[in-house]
Amino acid sequence: MSRPTANGSSAKGNPEDLQEFALIRSASRWIDDALRAWSEDDHAKLAALAPLAVEHLGKAVLWRRNPALLVPLSQDAEPALVLLATNPDLASPKLRTVGLAPLLGRLERLMGTLPLEPKQRKRLVEVRNGAMHVGSAAQSRHVLLDALSMCQVLLDHLGEDSEAFFGDHYRSVVELLDQKRSEVGHQVAAKRARARRRLGELEERLGEELFAETCARLEEQAPFVLDPSDFGEDLNAVESACPECGSAGRLIGRVDVTEEVDFDVEPLGGGQYNTVPYGYLAVALVPQAFACNVCQVSLHGVAELAEAGLPSNPHEVAPEDLGGDFDLETYRHEFGPDEW
């Protein structure tokens, strides 16, 4: 089945494709207006329009997976649920869809880690909802860069062509995103430099032997003093080597537990085999931060993790790696779907 692109090259055929195309085209228009406002130093207009592009593109991602994911969680959302589950139509005047804040949460569940830290997401949502006034060039630039980062991730997920989506602004967008990555590189470099300086001063003060003993003791204490809750709600941590000092630090993130199916092969004799399916729970960590108790380096967000060479994508972990406080059955009952 063909998928629509921002320039409309395959926007015909399946009605659901046309609905998705409408969302992508709408997002493309919003980001076009936002980038024009950026070029004209219209900071307020830029901040108002850029989050709309993220919202519409994010809704296209949810729409492709299942239109019912656009239903808001509110008591008056019953008509929207029935409509999107039975006869999905974005043009319906009765349709109310999810706002940007819950949309980002659903996208994170669907796609894994998003390129925005919690404070960046909060800023994007508050600007979108009019709760935060943006009047300076610096503020509007942050909003634009956050929106562009989100748009790029969503476009990649949809398999859309970025150049077609951004149109005449494509070169500017590439330059802006390169600047954002460079800024993250400078931030991480500064954090690592401070960590090296702290270790150097500590070794100079303690001497080589006592310094080594102190570092070993701090490393042992890491699981007990680096609390994942200090980095966000409902987070866990696994051991991970510090990119600066090599000590065992803590990679912090959200845990996702999913039901998976695998197969055992049983020999029946005569060269024949029987495959027997069995279900199991797969545990994955969605990284969001890293902290080291030895050199005190602390990294936040997938961009900083990736810049430092740490895992930044969801990856499978063993339940025992999450520490003695993590109980898979308890987690399954508290956070798993109702049908588990």
- Print burial letters for 303-322: b (CB count within 10 Å at least 16), e (below 16): bbbbbbebbbebeebeeebb
User: For position 263, what pLDDT does the model report?
Assistant: 73
pLDDT, tens digit, 9 for 90 and up, residues 211-236: 999 999 999 999 999 999 898 888 89
The region of weakest confidence among 150-164, 245-259, 317-331 is 317-331
Task: Determine what percent of the chain is predicted with pLDDT higher than 90.
Answer: 50
270 has a pLDDT exceeding 80: no
User: For position 334, what pLDDT does the model report?
Assistant: 61
Yes or no: say if 21 and 63 are a contact pair by the CB < 8 Å rule: no
User: For position 87, what pLDDT does the model report?
Assistant: 79
* DSSP output for 26-40: HHHHHHHHHHHHHHT
Q: 326: exposed, middle or buried (C-beta count within 10 Å: 0-12, 13-18, 19+)?
A: middle
Q: pLDDT band for position 2 (50/70/90)? A: very low
The token duo for 218 is 């701090």
204 vs 1: CA distance, rounded Å: 65
User: For position 188, what pLDDT does the model report?
Assistant: 94
85 vs 99: CA distance, rounded Å: 18
pLDDT, tens digit, 9 for 90 and up, residues 42-101: 988 999 999 999 999 999 999 999 998 998 877 777 777 777 878 787 877 778 888 999
* 102 Cβ contact list (under 8 Å, min separation 6): 72, 73
116 vs 138: CA distance, rounded Å: 17
pLDDT, tens digit, 9 for 90 and up, residues 147-203: 999 999 999 999 999 999 999 999 999 999 998 889 899 999 999 999 999 999 999
User: For position 8, what pLDDT does the model report?
Assistant: 41
Cα–Cα nearest to 15, from 99, 91, 103? 91
The token duo for 105 is 């949460």
User: What pTM did the predictor assign?
Assistant: 0.70
The region of weakest confidence among 9-18, 194-203, 272-281, 306-315 is 9-18
User: For position 238, what pLDDT does the model report?
Assistant: 95
31 has a pLDDT exceeding 50: yes
Yes or no: say if 104 and 61 are a contact pair by the CB < 8 Å rule: no
16 has a pLDDT exceeding 70: no
* 7 Cβ contact list (under 8 Å, min separation 6): 161, 164
